[in-house]
Structure 1
Amino acid sequence: MDQLIIPGELPSLNQIIDLAKKGNRIYQPYNDVKKQLNIMIMYQCRKQLKGKKFNKVFLHITWFCKNKKQDKDNISVGQKFLFDGMVHAKVIENDGWKNVDGFSHRFEVDKNNPRIEILIEEVGLNEQSQ
C-alpha cells in the first residue's frame, strides 16, 4: 500500500454550506476554495506518490483532527476534495465506481499536527489480468 499525507484539515460540511450561502450567481466563494484545495492535494499527490497511477483503489482514510469539536460525518465530507485532487493529479482516472472500490474512515486527535493520512490499496488486479 502507498501512503499519502495531506497536512492540516479540510473544510467541514458546515463550512462548505456557509461558503455556498455567501455566493451569488456571479461569484461563488466555494469554487475558489475547491480550486485551491484541488491544487494543494494534487501537489501533495505528485510530491509523495511520484507519478504513481492506480486503476482501482480502496482508500483507508484517517482524519487526525486538532480537537473533537466537529462531528465525524461533518469531517469526512472532505473526502470529496481528496478524490478530486487525486483525479486532477492523475493518481486515479476518475472517482466513480470503476476506479474507487470503496473507502473507510478512522478519526484521531492530534492537536499539534492535524492531517489526513490515506493508505491507498490497489484492488482488482487479478480481475483485470484475466
Structure 2
Amino acid sequence: MTFIWVEKNRRRDKDNVAFGKKFILDSLQEMEILSNDGWKEIVSFEDRFEVDKKNPHVEVIVEEVKE
C-alpha cells in the first residue's frame, strides 16, 4: 500500500502528515474496499511526500499481493 502525500508547503513534519493514514484505512474498511487493516491484510506501507501548493491531496495505491 502506497500513500502519496501532496502538501501545499513543507510546514508540517512528515510524521504529522502521515498520521492521517489511520483515518484513511478506517474509511477504506467502512467503504468495504479493505476487509480489515490488520497484520494479515496489510503487508507493508510506503509513504511518499510531494509539494503542490495549488492542489494538495493524498493518493492511495492499493495493490493485491497473492500468496
Question: Structure 1-normalised TM-score?
Answer: 0.50
One-letter amino acid of the counterpart of residue 71, structure 1: D
Correspondent of 2:56 among 114, 120, 127: 114
Aligned residues: 67
4+ residue segments displaced more than 2 Å: none
Relative to its length, the structure with more helix (as a share) is 1
Q: RMSD of the TM alignment (CA)? A: 0.7
Which has the bigger relative contact order, CA under 8 A and spacing at least 6?
2
Q: Which runs of 5+ in 2 are unaligned?
A: none
Question: Structure 2-normalised TM-score?
Answer: 0.95
How far apart, in 1, do the equivalents of 2:47 and 2:64 lie? 17
The percentage of counterpart residues that share the same residue type is 45
Q: Which runs of 5+ in 1 are unaligned?
A: 1-58
Question: What aligned pairs does 1:1-130 form with structure 2 within 5 A after superposition?
Answer: 59-123=1-65, 125=66, 127=67
